[in-house]
């Protein structure tokens, strides 16, 4: 009996923890102060962090410092409405720093540790400021500032997740030269004309984007790669 109990205990100790989802609220309070809640958190590799807008105030999540093994830029589209969400599953251990770009100057920032904190020299800064400047100045492709409806760049990538009900699709796309975008995982809204029902995680796709705001792109055409 003791041997059985010991064996069971060892098996439970060795079993991996179940992945979980952690919610981070993006808040603008009655005094106009913007902040993440919580703004410091620790999760385990495989856990998903969801950033959720707590009210109708624009927010955007950008990861500005990440472990060196991360080979993509992690950022959300603009989240303008209450309930808008951006989720990302973290698999690479280390320290991640993030902020809300519209409220960067106001100090809306946070720190995420996946597994254990990175040691000095094990992280790298991302070039999101350069990326944002390209979008704002319109340096990409035409060297003119794009206007809503006028810019329709194309890209290729892989489907990470699909929500047909909310008409959103998360893609990990290759660099999009026309926009100066590096490899990124992004959540896009799909146009009402795009049928998402035939897509699932892992599908290789090509897509066309349409600028619908200052820096917000909608998928207007989507098809599986041959």
- Mean pLDDT of all residues belonging to the chain: 82
Q: What share of the chain is helix, strand, coil (3-state, %, to 5)?
A: 10, 40, 45
Domains and CATH numbers, the chain: 19-126 (2.60.40.420), 134-224 (2.40.50.320)
Residue pair 158/200 in contact by the 8 Å Cβ criterion = no
Which residues belong to the active site? 59, 100, 103, 108
Identify the sign of the CA torsion 60, 68, 125, 185: negative
State the pLDDT at residue 188: 87
Which segments of the chain have a pLDDT < 50?
4-15, 134-136, 138-150
CA distance 215 to 212: 8
The rounded radius of gyration (Å) of the Cα atoms in the chain is 20
Q: What is the dihedral of CA 101, 92, 41, 33, to 10 degrees?
A: 0
State the pLDDT at residue 13: 46
Where do runs of H (alpha helix) occur along the chain?
2-14, 128-137
User: How do residues 88-107 score in pLDDT, each as one tens digit?
Assistant: 999 999 999 999 988 888 89
pTM above threshold 0.75? no
State the pLDDT at residue 15: 43
State the pLDDT at residue 213: 65
State the pLDDT at residue 202: 93
State the pLDDT at residue 215: 62
């Amino acid at each position: 009996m003791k041997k059985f109990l010991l064996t069971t205990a060892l098996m439970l100790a060795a079993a991996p923890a179940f992945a979980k989802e952690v919610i981070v609220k993006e808040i603008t309070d009655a005094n106009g102060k913007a902040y993440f809640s919580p703004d410091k958190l620790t999760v385990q590799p495989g856990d998903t962090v969801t950033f959720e807008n707590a009210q109708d105030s624009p927010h955007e999540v950008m990861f500005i410092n990440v472990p060196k093994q991360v080979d993509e830029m992690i950022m959300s589209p603009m989240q303008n409405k209450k309930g808008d969400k951006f989720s990302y599953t973290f698999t690479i251990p280390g320290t991640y720093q993030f902020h809300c770009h519209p409220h960067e100057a106001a100090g809306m920032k946070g720190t995420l540790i996946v597994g254990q904190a990175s040691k000095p020299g094990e992280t790298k800064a991302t070039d999101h400021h350069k990326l944002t400047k390209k979008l704002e100045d319109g340096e990409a492709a035409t060297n003119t500032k794009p206007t809503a409806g006028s810019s329709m760049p194309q890209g290729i990538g892989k489907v990470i997740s699909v929500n047909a009900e909310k008409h959103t699709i998360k893609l990990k796309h290759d660099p999009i030269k026309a926009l100066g975008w590096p490899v990124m995982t992004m959540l896009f809204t799909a146009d009402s004309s795009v049928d998402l029902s035939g897509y699932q995680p892992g599908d290789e796709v090509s897509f066309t984007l349409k600028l619908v705001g200052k820096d917000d792109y909608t998928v207007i055409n989507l098809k599986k790669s041959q």
